[in-house]
Amino acid sequence: MIDLLIPAIISCIVAFFIVFFMTPPLIKILEKRNFAVKDMNKKEDIMVVRPGGPVILAGIIASELVLYAFLQMNEILAILITTSAACVIGYVDDRKVMGGWFKPLALAIAAIPIIALGAYDTNLAFPLFGTVQIPALYLILIIFMIPITGNTINSIDVLNGVASGFMVIASFSLSICLFIVQNYEIAIVSLPLGFVSLAFYKYHKVPSKIFPGDSGALTLGAMYGAIAIVGGVEIIAAIALLPAVINSFLFLSSVKRVVEHRQIKGKPVEHTKNFLLKATDDKKAPVTLVRLILAGGPMSEKQVGYAIFKLTVFSGILAVITAFMIGVSL
């Protein structure tokens, strides 16, 4: 454990400061190239550059390579390749609008390195009841896990700072859980995800200076999913991600098909005169987490973000409780 301390500290510093120092130059480059979109939740015509995915990936690659130099684990390579592939997939979607099935299919292919490198264990651990061995079924689970986590984080990237702030809480919760289940090496491998998200949050929070774009959101989500698989904490990871899972579940159960957000006709949220967010009465609009939060009355973008963060902290606590329960058998 002690011998892991130095690589852990170095990788966390690298992860945080690469994103912290590289994001401002990236913002300038994107501004020069006019890669900007209108921030729909601002009264004035404010343009925000995107995507921040490349800088997030740079932080992840550098920090994980530091860890690989110390630990030389196949699991790190699997996480790196899957995460990089997810970033490329997201970048393609940032530059060119792809169909609703493109991302899930491409992300399923991005999960293959985890299988090819054998960076998984076919035992699925459940709290209180022990483990179940599902050799063939587990391969299907891996193929599904990366598209689910990637698209889940992407679907919650609707307001300034929400995706990155959400990932800070969820990934640190997952790291704590990995320490609790005594999977120390993967716990340390997971730490850069939280630090990369934290550094990016500084520029993504209200008012955003940069959006992560699909490349950023898919990078964060895919890395989270890959860590869950190689760390053998799939159920715990799903629990820490519950607010985003709820968002996807509400969306899919109201739309009843896999569809890109931009293809949805009804608007779930609109603005009041003083530009607060409020839920619409539009029957065609999908039910989303933000819409349910706003059902109680109009709120500012910042308030909605904090409401989502509170839910994420709650699910993080449930994940930690679950991690303690993994070691208990009925």
Tokens of 39: 């921030």
Calculate the alpha carbon distances from 27 to 19, 24, 33, 53, 206 in Å: 12, 5, 10, 12, 16
Residue 69 makes CB contacts below 8 A (sequence gap 6+) with: 7
Quick one: 14 or 308, whose CB is closer to another protein? 308
Q: What angle do CA 54, 58, 62 make, to 5 degrees?
A: 170
Stretch that binds another protein, among 20-28, 111-119, 153-161, 273-281 (CB under 8 A): 273-281
Q: How far is CA 82 from each of CA 37, 61, 106, rounded to the nearest angstrom?
A: 28, 11, 11
CB nearer another protein, residue 60 or residue 304? 304
Q: Which stretch binds another protein (CB under 8 A): 14-22, 100-108, 202-210, 315-323?
A: 315-323
- Contact between 258 and another protein by CB under 8 A: the answer reads no
- Closer by beta carbon to another protein, 52 or else 286: 286
**Given candidates 21, 101, 126, 184, which one binds another protein under the rule CB under 8 A?**
126
Strand partners, 298: none
- Under rule CB under 8 A, residue 266 binds another protein: no
Range 189-248, binding another protein (CB under 8 A): 235, 238-239, 242-243, 245-246
Q: Report H helices in 72-204.
A: 74-95, 102-110, 112-116, 135-155, 162-180, 184-204
Tokens for 107, please give them.
């992300």
Judged by CB under 8 A, the residue of 57, 228, 277, 287 near another protein is 287
Q: Which residues bind another protein (CB under 8 A)?
A: 124, 126-137, 140, 235, 238-239, 242-243, 245-246, 249-250, 253, 279-283, 287, 289, 291-293, 295-296, 307, 310-311, 314-315, 318, 322, 325
